[in-house]
Amino acid sequence: MTHSVPSPLTQLSEDETLFYETVRQFAENEISPLVRSMDDEQKLAPALAEKLFALGLMGIEVPEEFGGAAGSFFDAALAIEAISTVDPAVAVLVDVHNTLVVNALRRWGSDEQRKRWLPRLAADTIGAYALSEAGSGSDAFALQTRAEAVENGYRLNGRKLWISNAREAGLFILFATVDPAAGYRGITAFVIEAGAPGFLVGRKEDKLGIRASSTCELILDNCEVPAANVLDEVGKGYKIAIETLNEGRIGIGAQMLGLAKGAWHHAAKYAQQRKQFGKPIAEFQAVQFTLAEMATEIEAARLLVYNAARLKDAGLPYVKEAAMAKLFASQVAEKTASQSVEIFGGNGFVRDYPAEKYYRDAKVGKIYEGTSNMQLMTIAKQVLSRQG
């Protein structure tokens, strides 16, 4: 892994190319044979998580002193992209863990918190990020989960919904309000370990796509959390969530980019094998043009995602670019996956071929970590503010 910035910014250095190809090859060898069974069973293969840790993909930005790879955010985006070409569901695990949980602890954790939890997150403990609730989706801070101050800490009560990695996670960053009347100023981030008294992982959602990725409700019933588990300061949860999710949008952009690349690859390969009227359908201009347009849009999405990740690593403003990357990459992923199904024809509509899974997996890209409408609002606010 490297922190060097090649020129132009949207190209890869030799080290980054090697890293990407290493992860992609891992995905082909270790993940690909499990994709169908994990999707059918709606469950991540336990041995696969162990291999992700062993390869260093769960501690990409964790400092070396805590057992991590000390890589860049761009490295994390490359890993997410490479895994998503094979299975976007596995990429969710890597994405949430790295871009949300690890980054939040790196940036806002105290020295003691970093020493306590970062080595575990790099070695064997999966992280989850618990913000959403039944009445708190796009309006992310209409939180009802309450944190009441008690002796030595806080007592939490409430429910979280749609929490990725919940079934596998050993560590959760969870948001609750200490004072509903204070609005967003009362929101506080807590670190909760799985198995804590009063903390329960509830029902798993039965989803359209990315089915191997667990998405569950969390139930907090008088769950007592030590004061030492408050991330940063009481009332700073709003800032943590906003800034972390801005980074996370680039991760979702990388996931959707990888998904589109995977769908295109299978469609192009099939088009060169499938024969009609005595020749491969790839020789028909209509199919060629479709594949060409798909490839062009994928390349445009790649440039947006890479640019946003580079800006983030360079410490430059990237909120607009992150929103654009997620918005466009999710659109490209859905369109590419749909066109892949059509190139496969009848075979694209059955589960014996990969096209239908990419199609199912693509839809969530426009929904989680900020809907497309929320990205458009962010982009409009950013571009219009620069006209004054």
What CATH number is associated with residue 22? Answer: 1.10.540.10
Note the Cα 59 to chain centre separation in Å: 15
User: What does pLDDT average to over the chain?
Assistant: 95
Can you tell me the distance from the alpha carbon of 255 to that of 277, in angstroms, rounded to the nearest whole number? 37
Averaged pLDDT, 199-207: 97
Model pLDDT, residue 10: 67
**Confidence (pLDDT) at 136:** 82
Q: Is 65 in contact with 106 (CB distance < 8 Å)?
A: no
Q: Which two tokens stand for residue 282?
A: 């790839």
Written as one letter, the residue type at 244 is T
Mean pLDDT (whole number) for 217-246: 96
Task: At 298, give phi and psi (nearest 5°).
Answer: -65, -40
148 part of the active site: no
Is residue 9 domain-resident?
no
Q: Which residues contact 26 (CB under 8 A, 6 or more apart)?
A: 51, 55
Of 310, 293, 145, 134, the closest CA to residue 220 belongs to 145
Rounded-to-integer distance, Cα 63 and Cα 363, Å: 34
The pLDDT value recorded for residue 1 is 46
Question: Does one domain contain both 288 and 365?
Answer: yes
Local structure of 127: helix, strand or coil: strand
First to last CA, the chain: 41
pLDDT at 2: 44
User: How much is the average pLDDT of 292-306?
Assistant: 98
* pLDDT at 145 > cutoff 80: yes
Query: Do 66 and 136 have their domain in common?
Result: no
| Cα–Cα separations (whole angstroms), residue 90 to 23, 53, 209, 257 | 12, 13, 12, 14
Residue 43 domain flag: yes
Task: Read off the CATH number of the domain in which 278 is found.
Answer: 1.20.140.10
pLDDT(331) > 70: yes
The per-residue pLDDT for range 13-22, each reduced to its tens digit, is 999 999 999 9
Same domain, 218 and 338: no
> What is the predicted pLDDT for the residue at 335?
98
> What is the per-residue pLDDT for 202?
97
Q: What pLDDT, on the 0 to 100 scale, is given for residue 4?
A: 45
The active-site residue out of 321, 334, 356, 369 is: 369
Task: Indicate if 247 and 327 belong to the same structural domain.
Answer: yes
Judge if 207 and 147 occupy the same domain.
yes
Are residues 83 and 145 in contact, defined by beta-carbon separation less than 8 angstroms? Answer: no
249 within a domain of the structure (yes/no): yes
Share above pLDDT 70 across residues of the chain, in percent, rounded to a whole number: 97
Structure tokens at 175: 């948001």
Alpha-carbon distance of 18 to 56, in angstroms, equals: 15
Q: Tell me if 5 is assigned to some domain.
A: no
Residue 337 sits in the same domain as residue 214: no
The residue range of the domain holding 331 is: 238-385
Per DSSP, helices labelled H in the chain are 14-26, 35-41, 46-54, 73-84, 88-95, 103-108, 111-123, 237-273, 285-313, 319-344, 355-362, 372-385
Please compute the mean of the pLDDT values over residues 136-155 and round it to a whole number. Answer: 88
What CATH number did the domain enclosing 139 receive? 2.40.110.10
pTM over 0.85: yes
Residue 6 falls within a domain, yes or no? no
- Single out the residue of 121, 213, 220 nearest to residue 168, CA to CA: 213
Tally of domains in the chain: 3
Q: Quick one: average pLDDT of 166-175?
A: 98
Q: Which residues contact 263 (CB under 8 A, 6 or more apart)?
A: 333, 336, 337, 340, 354, 355, 358, 359, 362
What number of other Cβ atoms are within 10 A of residue 161's Cβ?
A: 20
- Residues written for the chain: 388
What's the pLDDT at 111? 97
| 262 and 283 housed in the same domain | yes
Q: Flag whether 4 is in a domain.
A: no
At 127, the pLDDT band (50, 70, 90 cuts) reads very high
**Together in a domain, 244 and 378:** yes
> Do 364 and 284 share a domain, yes or no?
yes
Asked if residue 111 belongs to a domain, the reply is yes
Residue 3 lies in a domain: no
Same domain, 350 and 297: yes
- Boundary (domain end) residue, out of 74, 109, 125: 125
Q: Reduce the DSSP state of residue 141 to 3 states and report it.
A: coil
Looking at the structure, do residues 267 and 378 belong to the same domain, yes or no? yes
Last residue of a domain, one of 187, 213, 235: 235
pLDDT range class, residue 135, cuts 50, 70, 90? confident
> Are 260 and 333 within 8 A, CB to CB?
yes
Give the dihedral sign, CA 108/173/186/154. Answer: negative
Matching residue, tokens 């947006």: 304
C-alpha 345, offset from chain centre: 30
Q: Note whether 292 and 321 are same-domain residues.
A: yes
Given 125, 158, 188, which residue is the final one in a domain? Answer: 125
Residue 234 has pLDDT above 80, yes or no: yes
